[in-house]
Chain A
Amino acid sequence: MNLGYILLIPLIPLVVFLLLGIFNQRIKPAISGYIGVFGLLVSTILSCYAAYQYFFVHGKVNGVYQTFVEKTVWMNFSDTLHIDMGIFIDPISVMMLVVVSTVSLMVHIYSRGYMKGDDGYTKFFAFLSLFSFSMYGLVLATNLFQIYIFWELVGVSSYLLIGYYYTKESAVAAAKKAFIVTRFADLGFLIGILIMGYYTGTYDFETLNDPEGNAILNWASTSFMGLSVLTWGLILIFIGGAGKSAMFPLHIWLPDAMEGPTPVSALIHAATMVVAGVFLVARLFPMYYFIEDGFALNIVAFVGAFSALFAAIIAITQTDIKRVLAFSTMSQLGYMMLALGVSGYDGHEGLGYMASMFHLFTHAMFKALLFLGAGSVIHAVHSNYLKDMGGLRKYMPITNITFLIAALAISGVPPFAGFFSKDEILVAVYEHNKLLYFVGVFVAGLTAFYMFRIYFGIFWGKETKYEHKPHESPISMTFPLLFLALMSILGGFIPFSDFVTADKAGFEAHLNYPLAAVAVVVGLIGIVLAWVFYKKESDLADRLANFFGPLYQWTSDKFYFDAIYLFITKKILFKRVAAPIAWFDRNIVDGTMNLIGNSTVKTSEKIKGMQSGKVQDYAFAFMAGVVILAIVFVYLWAE
């Protein structure tokens, strides 16, 4: 398989970035938009071509997808350890190429409308291209070292994009928070890489992941505190992944990151960058699975499940629609981690792995759609808050329909994409651990509930008095919505298990009808509850009430119903469950992180007296230092 052209996929956005970055002031905004879109379009076409070539023409040999690696030795680190640079082609990297390209292209097109008139227009497109380049590099990395470089580059471009509205104090703070928190997690990643390098003698994915290879066969040779050092390495690497993928308790940056422009949220904080952690675990999946019987993998599963539940509960109480989507993203990422965590390796055993990648794919489409839809709404009403919205379906028909499709997809309603991928996840979890399965199903219900809560809140419900009459967004913004909606409808029909599996051999996946039915019913209950609670004061409600006549009469009194609702939601759900969890998140989890930061600053404040400005004091400190070192190392610690 000729890999030369694949190198172009990341290089084109890099060139665009340099072009726009260097000639920032000299390029007309309108043209810079076209340059950005065009560059990404070429990359997208190449990605799709690569996917076609790989999956249908060259990739499969004897029923197994091959791994193609093109690399050069980049640095001889010591006699045994060397670092390579290159591109790595296997099912998940090709799939990620398609995901990143598609979403990035849509976001580029969308941004032409959304960012119109903004004075940093060119800079914005430059940053978007930088991000695309870094993300492609991350996906194509051949070894841990290379992935780490692009991992950080992705972090840098995310930092720049979140802080894009630099006049807004909160955006600047959020950008910094995101960067520091993920760097904090990368601390674990970095140490994990060092451990891997030293105990296995290689950074290379191909060598590390070989089930017959040295790393996997000899994991038991060195242990530390009762676990294999490699397990420690994997746990540390997972901490890095958890930081990027916003797993509890490292998720605190994600909701704040919503201060960035909405297209950025769609691209980075929904579809691509945040799945990097999931991708990382998937990339090292054979190691996670085989080493110490998947000890590290169990941690992945439980962290994923907990994050999914935790975030879904918080999402119910949020009033800023972008924050709802942020918590929803965290929850869905938890799903993906959970699926990876319960997966096996061979054939149908590897259902969880395949389901996770499948969900990554479909989620990228419908979550990007949700964000872009939300952006379209925010563009129209100039507010992020639910209270400023309502009844918008009349003004924004396209946004309404596409948002509805995405909401149905994420709620797991057939035949939309989310139904298929979520069903596979739940089946995989069911076969592994019943408790986690119930968590998964419950989260599915919550997802449907909060998603339709905002859907009804935005497009139906009480008509808000708007200062300016809201109008539908321009074609540059609605085209991506329509395209992504199409993907959200069709995406589920892709036979993923033929293409992306843990052992790369493919297997036949079937719908598990009873479990699918359970998931759908729970999802529908969520939707219905949201409908009952939030679709008030609309004519449809009255018509339905008439239609269901006796039934509605029986539940009769709206006030009575509201009282139950108030009791159940406000008193129990909000006050006793969701609000405390949200409080816990805001005060304890955030607080702990802030405490670490603040205490560092305070310590710094306290010791400032040491630097007095007097030479005598300095001489004293010097001599004291000598004497202390002498006493300690000549007498006390001498060997």
Chain B
Amino acid sequence: MNIDSLLVMRQEISLLAIILLLLVAEIFMAKNKKHSIVHLAIFLFGVHTLVGFLPLTENSLFGGMFRTNGLIHFFKNVLNIGVLILLLQSADWLQEKIVSQNKGTEFFVLLFSSLLGMYFMISSGDFLMFYLGLELSTLPVAALAAYETANRKSSEAGIKLILSSALASGVSLFGISMLYATSGSIYFADVIELITATQLTSLGAILFFAGLAFKISLVPFHFWTADVYQGAPISIASYLSVISKGAAVFILMILLFTVLKPLIHVWENMIYVVAVATMFIGNLFALRQQNMKRFLAFSSIAQAGFILLGLIAGTQLGMATVVYFVLIYVFSNLAAFGVVQAISLQTGKEHIKDYEGLYRTNPNLSLVMMLALFSLAGIPPVAGFFGKFFLFTAAASEGYYFLVFLAVVNVTISLYYYLLVVRAMFLRKSDTPIPFFKNKIYMRIGLIITVIGILILGLYSPLYDHIYELSGNFNR
């Protein structure tokens, strides 16, 4: 193995190095200074993120088990940015936990391990690497969901997540074994050549799909979402809804568009049905949520339904629009979770009702929240509109007009509940509004980055062109 192959894996190696560094650093830290590990972690990860932007050429390792190209690299950067924002938003909360509950560096170690799993998952060139990555990305999160050991709901969230995800990956593995049984290979490159649409492969593909659908929380594999989001710490809910979902969407897309391409007639119908079910169920449940975390959980389910519109297109256009949408979604959803995090940290309040009159006391936070919700609802000119519009165009270009129509109906429904929150903040008065507070510096930076993203991403067009070009990597 020469130095070049190390460079191919440099994102993974650098992240692993950070994990080890943090583990060692904790040993040498005085007990009462432990909270400063947060600064170290954010600094290291910030550097890691910046370095990640250095270009990387297309390559593969280990006989094709691990591969990387422009789009995969780009997507790892998207995940990095998301995690960095998330760290910034949770910094204050973490410091408090470390001080008050005598926690150590486990949050970072687990979180980065999970991210490492995602790297491997989206870089995988065969089903074995894929499966290892999938498990590595899920298991630490279950532990993180139960991070607040003193809180029963948090433990419950952890248990629910681990049980459900064990089931899901079992089913997925079963599906993979069927694909293996018919093709005799676990390498993607071989499977593409050998696979044909038979009943066995179709069943295999469906089972395999179910496992990833669980991570993306598509209906009917979504039930864990609301309970886990509500119980888990906000940072983890945010991680699950943004980073974890994004990575799963990405790998699902790659596999559907390349490996499972011969089965397109099976999965395009399936995606159609699941997309419709997901959009409607997600939206209908979101309508009546009172808790912000549950509300965002169902909103993120509905958003996943929209993403499927890009997947169903199965073209380079579809791929580009999905990546673009996920990128925008990362910023929008993190902004929303960030505000919830900030308010929960200061006041412990998490209900929509508590947000009444927020504009009067905390105008800046309400504006961030409004932008985030408008972006999620897809109102121009904020970024979310472009993401949705492009997804719809991708589906329409393949002739799925009725699906697009249903999606637009759902956009209208979703507008209703997003406006409920906007209304609570701007147009209502409360006798006991959340008092004014000032956010600490990390939180502020975290929120500002998301706002810039929401405002700029949609209008900065070279970005989309770039993604579209990169999407050609998989579509030769």
Contacts and interface: CB of A to CB of B under 8 A. Distances in A.
Interface of A: 24, 74-78, 148-149, 152-153, 156, 160, 163, 166-167, 171-172, 175-176, 179-180, 183-184, 187, 190-191, 194-195, 197-198, 597, 600-601, 603-605, 607-608, 610-611, 613, 615, 617-619, 621-626, 629-630, 632-635, 637-639
Contacts of A639: 197, 265
Nearest to B201: A634
Interface residues of B, number: 68
B288 A622 contact: no
B396 A198 contact: yes
29 contacts: A77-B393, A78-B317, A78-B397, A160-B426, A163-B423, A163-B427, A166-B428, A171-B427, A172-B423, A187-B409, A190-B392, A191-B408, A194-B392, A194-B404, A600-B284, A601-B287, A601-B288, A610-B223, A611-B227, A618-B160, A622-B167, A622-B168, A626-B171, A630-B207, A632-B270, A632-B273, A634-B199, A638-B202, A639-B197
Interface of B: 159-160, 163-164, 167-168, 171, 197, 199, 202-203, 206-207, 209-210, 214, 219-221, 223-224, 226-227, 265-267, 269-270, 273-274, 281, 284-285, 287-288, 317, 363, 374, 379-381, 385, 389-390, 392-393, 396-397, 401, 404-405, 408-409, 411-413, 415-416, 419, 423, 426-429, 461, 464-465, 468
B392 A607 contact: no
Contacts of B380: 148-149, 152-153
Nearest to B388: A190
A625 B277 CA distance: 11
Given A152-B379, A622-B168, A187 B412 contact: yes
A611 B363 CA distance: 35
B175 to A, nearest CB: 9
B289 to A, nearest CB: 10
Contacts of B423: 163, 172, 176
A608 B288 contact: yes
Given A152-B379, A601-B288, A604-B287, A618 B224 contact: yes
Contacts of B408: 187, 190-191
Query: Counting chain A CB atoms within 10 Å of each CB, which of B171, B226, B363, B423 scores highest?
Result: B423
Contact of B412 (A156, A183, A197, A634): A183
B185 to A, nearest CB: 22
A619 B161 CA distance: 11
A167 B429 contact: yes
B285 A607 contact: yes
Contacts of A187: 408-409, 411-412
A615 B160 contact: yes
B219 to A, nearest CB: 8
A197 B395 CA distance: 13
Nearest to A77: B393
Query: Counting chain A CB atoms within 10 Å of each CB, which of B164, B385, B408 scores highest?
Result: B408
A611 B404 contact: no
Contact of A197 (B226, B393, B401): B393
Given A194-B396, A619-B167, A638-B266, A630 B223 contact: no
B26 to A, nearest CB: 34
Contacts of B163: 615, 619
Contacts of B385: 149, 152
Contacts of A625: 210, 219-221
Given A149-B381, A198-B396, A619-B167, A191 B223 contact: no
A621 B428 contact: no
A196 B66 CA distance: 43
Contacts of B287: 600-601, 604
A197 B163 CA distance: 47
Contact of B404 (A24, A156, A191, A635): A191
Given A172-B428, A611-B223, A622-B220, A153 B381 contact: yes
A629 B159 CA distance: 27
Closest 3 CB pairs of A and B: A625-B220, A618-B223, A75-B461
A190 B268 CA distance: 24
A179 B288 contact: no
B25 to A, nearest CB: 37
